[in-house]
Structure 1
Amino acid sequence: MPSTSDVRPAWVFDESPIADPDGRGQRAVDFLRLLRHPKSRLPRQQFQLDPPFERIVRRIYGPTDDRGQRQVRTVYLQVGRGSRKTSLAAGLALLHTFGPERIPRGENLIAASDRKQARIGFEEATSIVETTPQLAAAARVIDSRNRFLHPKSGSRFEAISCDAPSQHGRTPSLVIVDELHAHRKADLWQALRTGAAKTSGSLIIIATTAGRGNESPDYPLLEYAKQVQAGEIEDETFLPIIFEAPADADWQDEALWHRLLPGLEYGYPDLPSLRQLAREARERPSDRAAFCQYYLGIRQQNSLSPFIDMAIFDAGKRDIDIDQLAHLPCWIGLDSSSTTDLTAVVAVFADGADLYVKTWAFIPADAVAKRSDRDKVPYIDWSRDEWVIATDGNVIDYAAVAAHIEDLCQRFDVQEIVADAAYAMPILQPLMEAGRPVLTMRQGWFTQSPALSTLERAIISGRLYWDSPALRWCVENVAIHTDSAGNRVMHKGRSRDRIDLAVALWMAVSRASQGAAVSVLDDADFDPARFVVTI
């Protein structure tokens, strides 16, 4: 099992000294301890600021630069769900609105992904104000605007969302960005970070759980935070606080949970509830992905609703010699593409209940380098190893794909060639004319849902064997949509994902599971012009 020694910032727990030359960190802690929280179980409902979070507060506010100003200007805090980020964010917002970090007419904001989430942040802060007598007497709450004021200084707090009208023109002194990974666009984030740059001594705090993929607004900031945390970039104004398990960590290890969730030893999140979630996640891949993302900080590169646990799929990896499969019946799945995307050919050989899979992905040779950069996969290496076949030119050579399938038909006992009709006719036509057993399969839940169940059973039972890294990549990219009737269809988890080989796989496995079909070539009246059978 990988080491868990570096899954959290050591300074949060090691009791090492934190500079506080002006006592600013101590004043921040003292203010937070004066607050009351309606759900607190401490005496007099005292705001719960446990040691790890106290050290985080001290580290944000204590150190100063050579001008005597607060050194930290941006904080990136990634920690698991249930760690009371919302309460901490509300407390810090009050510190800047009513406490020692208050400035005259200061604008302090919590920026959420939508109005509902913004309302949660506002209500959290308001509940603290109403429970703390000193603040209740000093605050003017404007509930309809998610805002309250400190009339004496003109300082104000507001919870806003990225689905609200444009926020350009603001000059905030404090910005707390809630769950940046969930923001649909970077517009609000960019407006607020540039607005904060206009205010002397401004502070930006990103408080988030782990996100998904590399296209959400949080990803560039996370990459920068990791480089600062690793010492690759020197930036004393940027404070990264990242709790993140390795991707291959034992997600069921409770010792790992305690290292990654700093509040767990203090009762949050609830350990029995966490154990129940883990028990359920053992059986459902989508729940497991969510558990790893939201509690262990493992950024998911595929969909939140994955088709299969990749550890189970990986158990089927084998070195497969296709020539040794010549005695077995074969079904070929074809997922054709437009002019430049991947075209997928998958051959499934059935040995009783065992299915052996060989795959080929076709891509224009002129696009290999560009697609490698875009899709972030080694097409060049895969092309060298023949997992990917680069056809001449800058568009897919359909004739080369047809020739490849024809070669498979001549070498093996091909029962059927099944394809999605979209874009496939330039490939299917010469195969039809050669008398090959071609079928087209309509795409939709009525064909795909039962086929996915068949494929899923083959994988989970350990009956599906494969050897292509390109196939694995496509399967990992699959997202599953389930309708109200329980029907499932696959789609791409992100716009840049490729699932073409997975689509061809389910079609071929679906037909192979139904056994050998009666070949129309046995029909004396066979006519290639009417040969395509649609199912």
Structure 2
Amino acid sequence: MSSPSERAHDPVTAWAKDALDEKIVVGELVAAAAERHLRDLRDGPSRGLYWSVEAATRPLRFLPAMLSITEGAKVGHPFDPLPWHVFCAGSLFGWRRASGRMRFRSGWLETGKGQAKSPLMAGIGIYMAGFYGIERAKVFAIGQDKNTANVLFKDAVAMCRATTPGHEDGDTMVARGEAIVRGEGDNAWKIEFPGDGDNVSIFQSLANGEAVSGPKPTLVAADEIHEFKSNASIELWKEAIAKMPGDALMLLGTNTPASTQIVGTEYSDYYQKVAKGEFEDDEAFAFVARVDVADRADVFERPEVWQKALPALGVTFPLENIQGRVNTAKQLLSTAFSVKRLYFGIPIGSTDFWIAEDAWSAVQGLVDEKKMKGCKCWLSLDLSQKNDLTALTVVWIDAKGHLHAKTFYWTTNDRLKERGLADHAPYETWAANPDVALTAVPGAVIDKSFIAAEVKRICAEHEVEFMAFDPAGIADFIAACEDIGFPVWRYKGPKEAKGVGLKLVSHAQGKLVRFEDKQLTMPRSIEKLEDRILKKTITIDNSPVTYSCAANAAVDTDGQNNRAFDKNRSRGRIDGMVTIAMAVGAADNELEEAKKSPYATRGIRTV
């Protein structure tokens, strides 16, 4: 826990410690951001990153000294930064590179509604435009449209026109000539901050798609990211930020986007991975305030967790505000969905997690292959297209009938980083971690002999019943098995003669189910996997690759409620999810020959 002197000297680090010591109510993603800060204090210098308390606290002193609150119950009071503001603004300005330049080039601020994101972004805009010390600084507020862009810009205008704290009524930045607002009333469109000579810094509002010639931005603040229909303007401004030789920042603010709000969802997913350390991006800051997955089912009944998504709760955001919304949401389903997303950070939408994510999380655990020896097991294989992911899942059944699933992955080392960026997956980091079962093989195409050798090893060490396979590309795998002297044979039904070696059983991938035979099909396998998850009769090895596949998965359903994973509609690689379903379907299979009639042995009894 931080001491009073530390809180006074370094309030950012003190906040991070208090968050991890549970002195502050935070969710897992915010805790991850706090942990990242403390970890970088220790390890950052080895990467050329340095922490400056002076640089961190300067904007925190500026806000209450120069700006007043312009709306709400505390209108007219100095803009004292909220505790979460302290951590975010302090982190953005306090972290530096060896050159002295700001470390972060982008910042993501995601909270529930009403948590003073826009006023914070407006205050940072005024600070960087007029008081940070950059000559001819250019700050832009952008949005999906002019109205969205003006949300934070109007806050900035109001702050410039408001009485400065500690001054007589009417003594404002505008009255003193420190800021010139272009445009009357709500039609203001630009703020100018005169400097020495002809030097003028600006803070300007631009709608999505609007541009200025040769922009050299100091700050681009984009609010309401969940409303963006395209990421084109964001990426263009990011490129402009990247070209700046000195301090420059892209600051993105949002409520939790719905799953169907693709732009916001993709950015949120990326910054969540940055916060959790799944992506190593030293130039990206992430603060994602949501309730945890385990809180979602009964969030309306648990006020003690609300602050995880509402960090201003009880300070500038009254408890009764959210209580009223919750009471309404309990009565109206449509309101319940919007309240869960907008206030508590629960993603809502048709492309959300393929099963209840809390149920999925509940069955994640350690699957120790050595402890599974002697248990019957089944394999499943999904071969990649040349250089994508190849997945092999093993499912063991223990004496109690509980399943244990572990998945092994292969990809190619060629262009690994580029493919990781395209797939939003840190392949380089995963491949370098010995605890993650992802192997990056040499070359541009996955050599199937690597997979054949691993299957051979598993068969030598475990009691393998058979391997289910996706028919696509299986001929290459069989050829690889022949090359290494590992016998396999394809099962074609109970009436066919058995072969020698590992039994291979075809697993259909589409939604079609044929009831005249008992073949392995995806609708049956998904149903069996879903039942196992909901009943908690399976443990799935807690792999970041597998979790990523599960989060990406989309399920397609036909008129008979037959379901299959749809790679075209999924948000990324889902190979591990496919093989887990296949392996569970194999373990709970119905391929045995039909049991003989009891009449064959005891005859027909008559009464």
Distance 1:511 1:263 in 2: 50
Residue among 502, 505, 520 paired with 1:438: 505
Distance 2:554 2:545 in 1: 19
Q: Which residue of 1 aligns with 2:538?
A: 464
**Alignment pair present for 1:473 and 2:545:** yes
Q: Which residue of 2 aligns with 1:377?
A: 430
* Alignment CA distance shift 1:320-1:50 (3 Å): same
- Deviation of the 1:130 alpha carbon: 8.2
Distance 2:242 2:458 in 1: 59
Distance 1:103 1:452 in 2: 58
Q: Which residue of 1 aligns with 2:383?
A: 336
- Deviation of the 1:518 alpha carbon: 3.5
Match of 2:577, SS?
helix
Distance 2:105 2:454 in 1: 56
Q: Which residue of 1 aligns with 2:22?
A: 4
- Deviation of the 1:52 alpha carbon: 2.7
* Alignment CA distance shift 1:464-1:19 (3 Å): closer
* Alignment CA distance shift 1:445-1:203 (3 Å): farther
User: Which segment is superposed worse, 77-86 or 215-224?
Assistant: 215-224
Distance 1:173 1:369 in 2: 33
- Is the CA contact 2:382–2:469 (under 8 Å) kept in the aligned structure 1? yes
Distance 1:334 1:56 in 2: 46
Match of 2:590, SS?
coil
Superposition map of 1:276-355 within 5 A: 305=353, 307=355, 308-309=357-358, 311-315=361-365, 317=367, 321-326=371-376, 331-349=378-396, 354-355=401-402
Distance 1:379 1:105 in 2: 45
Superposition map of 1:205-224 within 5 A: 206=251, 208=253, 211-213=268-270, 223-224=281-282
Distance 1:127 1:394 in 2: 53
Distance 2:281 2:133 in 1: 31
Distance 1:391 1:24 in 2: 48
- Is the CA contact 1:176–1:207 (under 8 Å) kept in the aligned structure 2? yes
- Is the CA contact 2:189–2:205 (under 8 Å) kept in the aligned structure 1? no
**Alignment pair present for 1:263 and 2:309:** no
Match of 1:263, SS?
coil
- Deviation of the 1:266 alpha carbon: 1.7
- Deviation of the 1:409 alpha carbon: 7.7
Distance 2:443 2:137 in 1: 60
Distance 1:250 1:108 in 2: 39
Q: Which residue of 2 aligns with 1:49?
A: 79
TM-score by length of 2: 0.52
Distance 2:590 2:281 in 1: 50
Distance 1:123 1:78 in 2: 15
| 1:452-474 C-alpha deviation (Å, 9 max, x unpaired) | 343132023221145x565x632
Residue among 201, 204, 207 paired with 1:158: 204
Distance 1:101 1:222 in 2: 28
Match of 2:490, SS?
helix
Superposition map of 1:75-86 within 5 A: 78=109, 80-82=111-113, 83-86=115-118
State, as a whole percentage, how many aligned pairs show the same letter: 16
Which AA in structure 1 matches 2:528? Answer: T
Distance 1:211 1:170 in 2: 26
Aligned-pair Cα RMSD in Å: 6.4
Q: Which residue of 1 aligns with 2:241?
A: 193
- Is the CA contact 2:273–2:279 (under 8 Å) kept in the aligned structure 1? no
Distance 1:74 1:375 in 2: 22
| 1:432-490 C-alpha deviation (Å, 9 max, x unpaired) | 39744532413469864663343132023221145x565x6324432233569896736
Residue among 129, 133, 153 paired with 1:125: 153
- Is the CA contact 2:309–2:343 (under 8 Å) kept in the aligned structure 1? no
| 1:97-151 C-alpha deviation (Å, 9 max, x unpaired) | 8x98999987431144xx24x63231453478589798899642699xx971469
Match of 2:434, SS?
helix
Q: Which residue of 2 aligns with 1:523?
A: none
Distance 1:95 1:362 in 2: 48
- Is the CA contact 2:291–2:305 (under 8 Å) kept in the aligned structure 1? no
- Deviation of the 1:56 alpha carbon: 8.6
Q: Which residue of 2 aligns with 1:229?
A: none
* Alignment CA distance shift 1:169-1:448 (3 Å): farther
| 1:282-334 C-alpha deviation (Å, 9 max, x unpaired) | xxxxx9xx9899869xxxxxx973654454122574666454224xxx54322
Superposition map of 1:421-436 within 5 A: 421-427=471-477, 431-432=489-490, 435=499, 436=503
Superposition map of 1:447-462 within 5 A: 448=522, 451-462=525-536
* Alignment CA distance shift 1:506-1:89 (3 Å): same
Which AA in structure 2 matches 1:52? Answer: L
Q: Which residue of 1 aligns with 2:601?
A: none
Which AA in structure 1 matches 2:317? Answer: Y
- Is the CA contact 2:139–2:218 (under 8 Å) kept in the aligned structure 1? yes
Distance 2:326 2:472 in 1: 45
Aligned residue pairs total: 451
| 1:24-52 C-alpha deviation (Å, 9 max, x unpaired) | 9888646532x644xx245xx64783453
Match of 1:425, SS?
helix
Which AA in structure 2 matches 1:81? Answer: G
Match of 2:379, SS?
strand
Which AA in structure 1 matches 2:401? Answer: D
- Is the CA contact 1:28–1:58 (under 8 Å) kept in the aligned structure 2? no
Residue among 183, 192, 205 paired with 1:140: 183
Match of 2:536, SS?
coil
Q: Which residue of 1 aligns with 2:49?
A: none
- Is the CA contact 2:137–2:218 (under 8 Å) kept in the aligned structure 1? yes
Match of 2:384, SS?
coil
* Alignment CA distance shift 1:507-1:169 (3 Å): same
Distance 1:84 1:176 in 2: 14
Match of 1:377, SS?
helix
Which AA in structure 1 matches 2:427? Answer: R
Distance 2:478 2:368 in 1: 30
Match of 2:578, SS?
helix
Distance 1:510 1:77 in 2: 41
Q: Which residue of 2 aligns with 1:170?
A: 215
- Is the CA contact 2:219–2:251 (under 8 Å) kept in the aligned structure 1? no
- Structure 1, unpaired ranges of 5+: 11-17, 64-70, 227-239, 281-286, 297-302, 520-535
TM-score by length of 1: 0.57
- Is the CA contact 1:81–1:269 (under 8 Å) kept in the aligned structure 2? no
Q: Which residue of 1 aligns with 2:27?
A: none
Distance 1:358 1:509 in 2: 8
- Is the CA contact 2:410–2:440 (under 8 Å) kept in the aligned structure 1? yes
* Alignment CA distance shift 1:247-1:172 (3 Å): same
Which AA in structure 1 matches 2:526? Answer: L
Match of 2:269, SS?
coil
- Is the CA contact 1:109–1:175 (under 8 Å) kept in the aligned structure 2? yes
Distance 2:441 2:214 in 1: 52
Residue among 556, 561, 565 paired with 1:489: 565
- Deviation of the 1:378 alpha carbon: 4.6
- Is the CA contact 1:335–1:500 (under 8 Å) kept in the aligned structure 2? yes
